[in-house]
Chain A
Amino acid sequence: MTQLHDRVAHQQVRGPVLNRSRPLGALALVVAAGLLVLSMAIALGVGSVPVPVPDVLAVVARRLGLGEFGVTVIDDRLIWQLRMPRVLGAAAVGAALAICGAVLQSITRNDLADPYLLGISGGAAVGAVTVIVLGVSFAGLAGSAAVGAAAFAGALAALVLVLALATGPGGSLPPARTVLAGVAVGQACAAYTSFLVLMTGDSHAARRVLTWTLGSVAGVRWDSAIILAVVAVAATLLALTAGRKLDAFAFGEVSATSLGINVTRLRWTLLCGTALVTACVVAFAGMIGFVGLVVPHMVRILTGPGHRLLLPMSALAGGLILVWADLLARSLVDGREIPLGVVTGVVGAPFFAFLLRRHREAG
Chain B
Amino acid sequence: MRIETQSLAWRVARRTIIEDVDLVAEPGTVTGLLGVNGSGKTTLLHLMAGLRKPSAGSVLVGGQRLAAMPATERARTIAMVEQESSTNLDLSVRDVVELGRIPHRGRWSGSPDDPSIIEEAMGIAQVTHLSARRWQTLSGGEKQRTQLARALAQQPRVLLLDEPTNHLDLGHQLDFLTRVRNLGLTTVAALHDLELAAGFCDRLVVLDAGRVVAAGAVAEVLTGDLLRWVYAVRASVEAHPRNGRPHLVWDGPLEREEARHG
Contact = CB atoms under 8 A, between A and B. Distances in A.
Nearest to A241: B107
Interface in A221-263: 240-241, 244-245, 247-248, 250-252, 254-255, 257-262
Interface in B98-143: 99-100, 102-103, 105, 107-108, 132-134, 136-137
19 contacts: A12-B134, A12-B137, A16-B90, A244-B102, A247-B102, A250-B96, A250-B99, A257-B50, A257-B51, A257-B71, A258-B49, A258-B50, A259-B102, A259-B103, A260-B71, A261-B102, A304-B91, A304-B95, A362-B90
A111 B102 CA distance: 23
Interface residues of A, number: 33
Contacts of B9: none
A3 to B, nearest CB: 15
Given A251-B85, A257-B51, A304 B137 contact: no
A15 B134 CA distance: 8
B18 interface: no
A251 B137 contact: no
Contact of B92 (A8, A19, A244, A248): A19
A258 B42 CA distance: 14
B90 A305 contact: yes
Interface stretch (B32-40, B75-83, B190-198, B240-248): B75-83
B92 A260 contact: no
A14 interface: yes
Contacts, number: 92
A252 B82 CA distance: 11
A10 to B, nearest CB: 10
Nearest to A363: B136
A254 B105 CA distance: 19
A9 to B, nearest CB: 10
Contacts of A362: 90, 136
A182 B76 CA distance: 37
A109 interface: yes
A13 B134 CA distance: 9
B178 interface: no
A11 interface: yes
A16 B72 CA distance: 30
B88 interface: yes
Interface string A91-121: 0000000000000000001010000000000
Contact of B80 (A13, A247, A248, A258): A258
A54 to B, nearest CB: 38
Contact of B132 (A8, A12, A245): A12
Contacts of A15: 90, 92, 132, 134
Contacts of B182: none
B134 A14 contact: yes
A126 to B, nearest CB: 34
Given A11-B134, A111-B88, A251-B86, A19 B99 contact: no
A248 B137 contact: no
A260 B91 contact: no
Contact of A255 (B85, B103, B105): B85
Interface in A7-47: 8, 11-16, 19-20
B89 interface: yes
Nearest to A261: B71
Contacts of A255: 82, 85, 99
B2 interface: no
B167 interface: no
Contacts of B92: 15, 19-20
Contacts of A250: 87, 89, 91, 95-96, 99
A89 B96 CA distance: 38
